Structure 1
Amino acid sequence: MPTISSFYGILIRMYFADHAPPHFHAVYGETEALIDIRTLEVIEGGLPRRAMAFVLEWASMHRSELQEDWDLCAARKSPHPISPLD
């Protein structure tokens, strides 16, 4: 599973050929959340509130890049890195 971004101890990852809907995995310590790229809603899991706020802020700024990476992963191609949250 490629890591496409990392900030504040949070890893943003995508699986190759993962199931719909288009989503990414946010991992923080022992916690993980699957977040829908289109709606930014949590599909499964969860993160501590502050970490989730960082992830949602970052994802809202990079939604088109996330979709492009999703399409690459669906085609079993390596996704592009995405700038971290500053």
Structure 2
Amino acid sequence: MALLITDECINCDICEPECPNEAISQGDEIYVIDVDKCTECVGHYDDPQCVEVCPVDCIPLNPNKVETEDELWQKYRGLTGKE
């Protein structure tokens, strides 16, 4: 499942450069995660890097984008071209 940045975001700019898929960008009021690019860092790291660095713990799983680990791996392969 993709991740989601909640309205508790303080726009600290820490998460965006940590995302290996460039799925995080500045939205109108807070940072947002592109669900089509978010793999929860599957294929890159053991844990989602944005969650690891977030100082306010505002990046939960997105209940509107439920994905299995296999689906996350497929997305990773599609984004990176790696097998």
TM-score above 0.5: no
Q: Which structure has the higher relative contact order (CA within 8 Å, separation 6+)?
A: 2
Question: Over alpha carbons, which structure has the higher Rg?
Answer: 2
Q: Which TM-score band (shorter chain)?
A: 0.3 to 0.5
TM-score, reference length from structure 1: 0.33
TM-score, reference length from structure 2: 0.33
